[in-house]
Each structure stands twice: as C-alpha cells, then as structure tokens.
Structure 1
Amino acid sequence: MQTHIALLRAVNVGGTGKLPMAELRAMCEQAGFADVRTCIASGNVVFRSALAERAVAAALESRLEAYAGKPVGVLLRTAAEMAAVLAANPFPDAPGNRVVAIFLDRPPPADALEHASGRKHEAMALGRREIYVHYGEGMADSRLRIPAAQAGTARNINTIAKLAEMASA
C-alpha cells in the first residue's frame, strides 16, 4: 500500500468551502483508505491505499462533490514526492511561513513565471509539479497573480514539512 497526501483545493473550516476534518476523514475511510489522518483544518489528509493515484483521486473527488454539491479539486503526492518538494525548496533560509509551494497536477509551463503579474517583493521558482513563492514581506498585502497556478493549491513550507513527517511515519 502506498502512502498518499491529498491536498484539497478551496477548502476551509468556515465560510465557503466549509468541510469539517472529521467529515474528510470519514469520506476517506468510506473510500477504503487506511490509516487516515488530517493535518490542519485546511484540507490536508494523509492515508494509505492500494489504488493507483488516479483511482485514489477519483474516489475522493466523487465523495467531495457529493458532499459539497460542486467539484472539489484534489492534488495528490506520495510520501516520497512530498519529501522531495520540501527538499527542493529554493528558499531554504526564508521563514517557512513565508514560502509556499503551489501544487499542480502537471509540471508548470516553462514560461509560467513570465506571465505573473502584481509582483512586488516576491521571489518565484519552478518545481517539478509545483511553483514556489517566497513572500518576503508576507502574503497579506501581496497582489501576485500566477495564471499557471489557478488550478493549484498552496501550502506553506511549515505545513509541507508536517505533512512529509506524517507521511513518513
């Protein structure tokens, strides 16, 4: 069985996209996933499954759509892939809460960063299936827009480290 980390897109504990983590755990267990654990109430779940990645995503996406009444994006990484995302952080000396990896389904286009707008003090770099952003002055006032990242979901390096640790346990 493979350990997977599912990162849900546009999920939070209040307002739009509300999904209690207990509900997410139950959905994963109903899908037959084992050792289900959530991390932070923002749509992060670690579990094991014998299914192929596409089947895992489809099983979870169908349950989420039934729950939410609309499609909810799911991006998957294996434990090894999540560890690699953490290791590949191009801004290792920056505080973990100021660096995010925007997770994508496929590799970002080579020119993805050229199409970014609203850039001030942010630094960006392409990853394998991620776009890294260092928000030097914090995210609160950033106006950065990266069109290639629209279908992705971001997690800060602190969260990525926690997920990698959970997945390796």
Structure 2
Amino acid sequence: MTKKTETRRYAALLRGINVGGNKKVPMAELRSVLEGLGHGDVQTYLQSGNAVFTSAKRDPAALARELEAALEAHFGFRVACLVLDGPRLRAVAEACPFPAAELEGRQLHATFFSEQPGAERFAAIDAAAFLPEEYRLGDRVLYLYAPEGLGRSKLAEALARPAVTKGIDATTRNWNTVAKLVELTSATG
C-alpha cells in the first residue's frame, strides 16, 4: 500500500508585474511555470500576480525562492515573490485591526513582508499627519486604511519609501484580493 503525500494549499504573491507595461508575466505562463515546478491545482487570480497551488513542500520561503529563480529563468528578469499558506492568510485576515466587513475592498489593504520590519523603520512617519488614513503593523503584514483608495493615499507613499522597505520584499493587495486568496487557499480537493 502506497502512502499518499499530503499537500498544502499556498498563495504566491508576485510583486510589481503587469504594471504600466513593465515586467509582463502572462497568467497562463505563470501557471505553466508553477506546474513545471511540480505544483498541482494551479490557478491564478486577476492579472496582478496572484496564484494558488498545492505542494507537498512545507517551507513557504523556499517555495518563494524556487519560484523567483524559475520566473527569472523563464522571463529574464527578477520578480519578488512571497508564498503564504492558507492558515497564514487566514491569520492575517482574522488579525485585521480595521472593520473589514464595514469597508469597501479598495479602502483596506494588506502589505505582506518577507520578514518582520522593525518599528524603527516607521519612526519618521507622523501618523497623525495622514489622518483619516491609518496603518497598523502586524506579523509580517501592514494593514492600511485609505478611505479614498490606494491611488490617492499619501500615507501609502510614505510607507513605500526606501527607509521603510529597504532590504525587505513587500507586496500589497486590496482587501477583496486578500479575502479571495483566503477563500482559494481554504478550498479542499
């Protein structure tokens, strides 16, 4: 009797692709790259670099490095990737300090980090100067409430400065996308 290898569902979040004609990564090719790495049940969500897949591997950081190398080999440019499993995404959603159910998806965002940024990175940001926009730092995630949306957010600009992000891979998703990725990584079968 052969023991079946148990798989886990993951979401891969690619940073900075398909924006303004730069770093074009067609979703069909992204699916193909993931399948070529041996992952199963591959599907993409939107055109902005969200993919869900199953893998028997258990190290999200190693999966991210493997995907980055495969994408660079395939496309010829580096794409920063973060890989999160379903429980991690659910934990991010459950820990949201803002009333997500009461807000429009465009008003709430999560910036996922490859590692926990220290509080000193945010010391120069005068949060009161950006009200009613607000942010809260969580476990390798930053929650941003931007009532007018990300495109008009001055706080988002401040949070994207090199003093905050240097040396850490980070990628942002609106709350609608976060909720959908939680759903997709929670699916069975």
With structure 2 as the length reference, what TM-score do the two structures score? 0.82
The runs of 4+ residues in structure 1 deviating greater than 6 Å are none
Higher helix share: 2
1:166 pairs with 2:166: no
Counterpart for residue 101 of structure 1? 110
**Contact in 1 for aligned 2:16/2:79 (Cα 8 Å):** yes
**Contact in 2 for aligned 1:49/1:56 (Cα 8 Å):** no
Point out the more displaced range, 35-44 or 149-158.
149-158
Provide structure 1 residue ranges, at least 5 long, that are not aligned to the other structure.
none
Q: How many residues matched?
A: 169
Deviations 1:109-161 (A, max 9, x none): 12333233796332000010111111122222223322424630000111000
Matches of residues 113-124 of structure 1 in structure 2 within 5 Å? 113-116=122-125, 120-121=130-131, 122-124=133-135
**Contact in 1 for aligned 2:61/2:82 (Cα 8 Å):** no
Q: Determine what percentage of the aligned residue pairs are the same residue.
A: 40
1:157 pairs with 2:166: no
Counterpart for residue 38 of structure 1? 44
- RMSD over aligned Cα atoms: 1.9
1:65 pairs with 2:72: yes
Counterpart for residue 135 of structure 1? 146
Could you say if the C-alpha distance between residues 39 and 117 of structure 1 is closer, same or farther in structure 2, counting changes exceeding 3 Å? farther
CA distance, structure 1, for counterparts of residue 126 and residue 48 of structure 2: 26
Tell me how far 1:13 sits from its aligned partner. Answer: 6.5
Counterpart for residue 145 of structure 1? 158
Deviations 1:5-46 (A, max 9, x none): 110011126600111100100000000001111111100011
- The one-letter code of the counterpart of 1:41 is Q
CA distance, structure 1, for counterparts of residue 18 and residue 72 of structure 2: 15
CA distance, structure 2, for counterparts of residue 50 and residue 108 of structure 1: 29
CA distance, structure 2, for counterparts of residue 61 and residue 17 of structure 1: 13
- The one-letter code of the counterpart of 1:168 is S
- The one-letter code of the counterpart of 1:160 is V
**Contact in 2 for aligned 1:123/1:136 (Cα 8 Å):** no
With structure 1 as the length reference, what TM-score do the two structures score? 0.91
Tell me how far 1:70 sits from its aligned partner. Answer: 2.0
**Contact in 2 for aligned 1:13/1:20 (Cα 8 Å):** no
- The one-letter code of the counterpart of 1:58 is R
Provide structure 2 residue ranges, at least 5 long, that are not aligned to the other structure.
1-6
